[in-house]
Amino acid sequence: MSRLFATKPLAVLLGEANAAGALKRTLGAGHLTALGVGAIIGSGLFIRTANAVSQASGPAVTLAFVLAALGCVFAGLCYAEFAAMIPIAGSAYTYAYTTMGEFVAWVIGWALIMEYALGAATVSIGWSEYLSKLLDAFGVHLPYGLTHSPLESAVLGGVTEHGLVNLPAVLVVVALSLLLIKGTQESAVFNSVMVVVKVTVVLLFIGVGWQFINPANHTPYLIPDDAAPVRNAAGQIVREYSAWNKHGLGGILGGAAIVFFAFIGFDAVSTAAQEARNPRRDMPISILGSLAICTVLYVLFGHVLTGVAHWREFADPSLGAEASVAYAIRAHMPGYGWLATAVTLAILLGFSSVVLVMLMGQSRVFFSMAQDGLMPRAFAELHPRYRTPYKSNLVLMGFVGVFAAFVPGSLAGDLTSFGTLLAFVLVSIGVWLMRRSHPAQPRPFRAPLSSPRFPLIPLLGAMLCAALIAALDAFTLQVAAIWMLLGFAVYFLYGRKNSKLQQGIVVLPEELAEPVGK
């Protein structure tokens, strides 16, 4: 049992960080905050907001955003401490390996597949939805069957349509995976442009939509416990609100678990700790600053969206269940059809960058796990010409493509939230354990109120994120449990037997970084 929880020595991790090459500390708080805002604002806002509104929280989605942001703040402070102390690839997986042992590291690495891989699938599904709306504006209508999963159906024009395969979602995954194999990466300039585009879109919708708010749409603010189910044109129930996390105060928690997806990406700030000029000052400013900016924008966005259109409209597949922002503009903001088209185009550009980043992030997690022997060595092999983990990208292209093609976006998004929340719980606990096991280790940044005897911030972060996990849909939790059990089987059948740590082998990063065939 002790071997199961063997930890990777901190000295080895720090040696790997040094061997990987020192990065220049050129990023200030402003650059890091822009990075955080660019990573956070994506499909979560434009897709998951309407999902939370129609499934659990109604107009109180604004409070759900605040609650989700609070959990991110606690976890973000813990990420900042780890990132400043252990600036190496692998993120939460690496942190767990040195604090809670190999098995927990495997669990978190396996859960991160749900964050990055399924996150990419969720965003690609959203990309497909908005592409359909954009083409509709120009008179081109894609068949329902080729833009939806087999698990989805809708009554359109009095006829029940069934999904077959989400083809646009698959195509965008394939295209971006091939770009990653070739080595295409976002530059700082491109990231800054995307930040400007995304924030401009959000501000435009808030500014223009504010004058179209109907106060009656905000009454009642919480979904009542006796809310009637939402039915489609055929009389079938598509949403019901009897469960504890589907109405009232419980609906706020349920909504927070759904919109939590909208905050995924802030941990990208913590991964840049080695490039921060002053991590002690810049990391908390950038993490808290990006979260604060996005939370304010999210609250205003949710307030306008639920004021312009009634929350029940977003539950009906024939109305605003898809491409909610474009629907709200076209249905309730006369004279601003051009804004719906411009918003849709800008969202497509933003979604593309998010899918690219998520696919790249997942391949790097696989790369770190393969270096440790917990995944097949192929995931750590680099292309002989492009020097990218091309085999990892190809596997991801198939895996993510299947999910994008055949799984509804709501399920993929909830599974993404589960994987991220689980990672946040373990990172929060890891900070406390590291304080106990390595009290003298230099820490450029220290999470406040996190002493070994009084770990308030880690405890609050772990508890709140665990509560958000419990508030997820029961079916999502069942699927997540099956996924984690599958991960346990993979670890005991493969990972444990091939672990470099279990075999007492220390592999230098440069030995694994050699291109294939060299």
Q: Is the dihedral of CA 465, 470, 476, 482 positive or negative?
A: positive
3-state secondary structure of 134: helix
Q: Is the pLDDT of residue 233 over 90?
A: no
pLDDT tens track for 7-31: 887 777 666 655 544 445 666 777 7
- The rounded distance, in Å, linking the Cα atoms of 177 and 168 is 14
Give the CA radius of gyration of the chain: 22
Residue 326 lies in a domain: yes
Residue 169 lies in a domain: yes
pLDDT tens track for 131-141: 998 898 788 99
- The rounded distance, in Å, linking the Cα atoms of 63 and 126 is 24
- The rounded distance, in Å, linking the Cα atoms of 233 and 367 is 49
- What is the signed CA dihedral for 393, 396, 402, 404, rounded to 10 degrees? -90
- The rounded distance, in Å, linking the Cα atoms of 112 and 100 is 16
List the domain range (segments joined by +) for residue 153: 27-512
439-447 mean pLDDT:
85
Whole-number percent of the chain with pLDDT over 90? 33
Residue 1 lies in a domain: no
Please say whether the beta carbons of 97 and 105 come within 8 A: yes
* DSSP label at residue 217: G
- The rounded distance, in Å, linking the Cα atoms of 126 and 56 is 20
- The rounded distance, in Å, linking the Cα atoms of 344 and 342 is 5
The residue assigned the tokens 């800054």 is 192
Phi then psi for residue 160, to 5 deg, are -80, 120
Residue 162 lies in a domain: yes
Give the model's pLDDT for residue 116: 83
Distances (CA, A) of 346 to 171, 340, 462: 19, 10, 36
Range from 78-82, 192-196, 479-483 carrying the lowest mean pLDDT: 192-196
Q: Residue 335, CB half-sphere, CA atoms under 13 Å: how many?
A: 4
CATH no. for residue 110?
Answer: 1.20.1740.10
Q: Count up the domains in the chain and report the number.
A: 1
Residue 430 lies in a domain: yes
pLDDT tens track for 60-113: 999 999 999 998 889 888 988 887 777 665 567 888 888 888 998 899 889 888
Q: Are β-strands 153-156 and 230-231 bridged in parallel, bridged antiparallel, or unpaired?
A: unpaired
Residue 220 lies in a domain: yes
Residue 18 lies in a domain: no
- What is the signed CA dihedral for 144, 149, 155, 160, rounded to 10 degrees? 90
pLDDT tens track for 338-363: 888 888 887 887 788 778 878 877 88
Average pLDDT over the chain reads: 83
Cα-based angle 309, 315, 321 (whole degrees, multiple of 5)? 80
The residue assigned the tokens 């929350």 is 311
Residue 8 lies in a domain: no
Residue 185 CA from chain centroid, whole number: 19
Q: Which residues on neighbouring strands pair with residue 147, listed in sequence order? A: 166
Cα-based angle 396, 400, 401 (whole degrees, multiple of 5)? 110
Considering only CA atoms, which of 328, 42, 307, 358 is closest in space to residue 198?
A: 42
